[in-house]
Amino acid sequence: MDLVSRNPATGEVIATYPAHTSDDIERRIAASVAATKHWSKTVPLAARAAFLVRLADLLEARAESYGALITREMGKPLKEAVAEVNKSALGARHFAERGPDYLADAPIEGLNAFVRHAPLGPIFAIMPWNLPFWQVLRFFIPTALAGNSVLVKHSDSVQGCAQALEQLIADAGAPEGLYQNLAIRRGAVAAIVADPRIAAATVTGSTEAGRAVAEVAGAHGKKVVLELGGSDPFLVFEDADLDRAVDFAVLSRFANNAQSCIAAKRTLVADGIYDRFEAAFVEKAAALRVGDPMDPETQLGPMARDGVVVETERQVAAAIAQGGRVLTGGSRLERPGNYYPPTVIAELPHDAPVVQEEVFGPVAMLFRFDSEDAAVRLANQTEYGLGATIWTGDPDRAARVADDLDAGAVFINSFVRSDPRAPFGGVKASGFGRELGAIGARELTNAKLVFIE
């Protein structure tokens, strides 16, 4: 069955792409095996780093056209889509410069020995639609630098981006088979993970998808890296800069059309400033300009898929039934496309079932807390543990609370985001393993001990 790309702003079909057959998949896996042998054994690390510089150059030169492609296929405002491409270029330049140091042999003090970060082989990646360039490239760049080849199953709905990425990497000078796009559906994933030629797998996506892949990988003794869902808390204490906290809370919740694993999905505010915070937050959220994502004035475009809107409608209805009060928004916009307005819900019990889910639409949930201990308890009262944010003017409190939060990353007086220089990933149901930074550069390698007598 063909894979279909639709414009989420209109619902119109952009293009259809034939799914790869079993023979296509076999040829691509074989090409990936051959590419790993060539790339890791005959192309020195310095030459791989130079390839990343060419990749960055092309991303910057094509940022506008790639940004328009992203916007057409998944609906984010064009300005944000172009920024995503440029961030990918920044990542390539960072690993071209620092990656060789990250991957250098590491001597072991007191022993005539060192650790060499050797490639594993072909890596299979399952990637989502919400950041269709950055999430693929943040995985590919350090993974390829380390000497691995990759096969990528991109989301059905962004196959234009998937093909553009494959062509981009070829244009940058990659050998045949280094990057293979697999135009396949979910049902084909397990067999590829289980294939003995696949060395490891990585998933960015839902917790359910990650667990399914991890189960297959574990059964075959393979490493897997999981960057999964999140329900990030955004904690605001009484001594915070309230105006800046409101601005960043709105930005964190509604950026990328509110479809981000690291969005501030639960905003927890101290009793003493709650009423002022709520009023300012609702005012700013309600004022966000919803519209055509190609319009430079648009701040919130359509949801990427109709199914995302349907799920958001279900979750808002559940929130109301479970005691929540809608302060703005709350129902699908009556217009063509997958549009849902900025929505703010308050007064939900924190143990309400909908609060324990990941809300992947433009819905912010506001909560009160009456003490530091209560703030930490509520923040951790979820199965997720991706990111968390603390707003306070007290450095000692910031340090205490950061230590107590169940999260892969904690940002203080800012908002959670990824950066090529820093490790990224979560704990609990948000996954395990890290991407980016020195830790991410080594994640999909064999830390091989070499001992010399």
Three-state DSSP class for residue 242 = helix
Helix (H) or strand (E) holding 278: helix 271-286
- Fill in the amino acid letter for 208: E
Contact at 8 Å (CB) between 434 and 424?
A: yes
* Cα 82 → chain centroid: 16
β-pair type (384-385, 427-428): antiparallel
Contact at 8 Å (CB) between 102 and 442?
A: yes
Nearest to 302 by CA among 253, 328, 263, 337: 337
Distance (Å, whole) CA 290 – CA 280: 19
Nearest to 362 by CA among 231, 271, 257, 276: 257
Please provide residue 201's backbone torsions phi and psi, each rounded to the nearest 5 degrees. -135, 155
Helix (H) or strand (E) holding 92: helix 78-102
DSSP string, 50-87: HHHHHHHHHHHHTHHHHHHHHHHHH---HHHHHHHHHH
Three-state DSSP class for residue 446 = strand
Contact at 8 Å (CB) between 32 and 122?
A: yes
Positions annotated as catalytic residues are 227, 261
Nearest to 14 by CA among 62, 59, 63, 70: 70
Three-state DSSP class for residue 176 = coil
Per-residue DSSP letter, 77: -
Distance (Å, whole) CA 348 – CA 327: 12
Q: Please give the structure tokens belonging to residue 23.
A: 């023979």
Distance (Å, whole) CA 451 – CA 448: 10
Q: Which residue has the tokens 């990759």?
A: 150
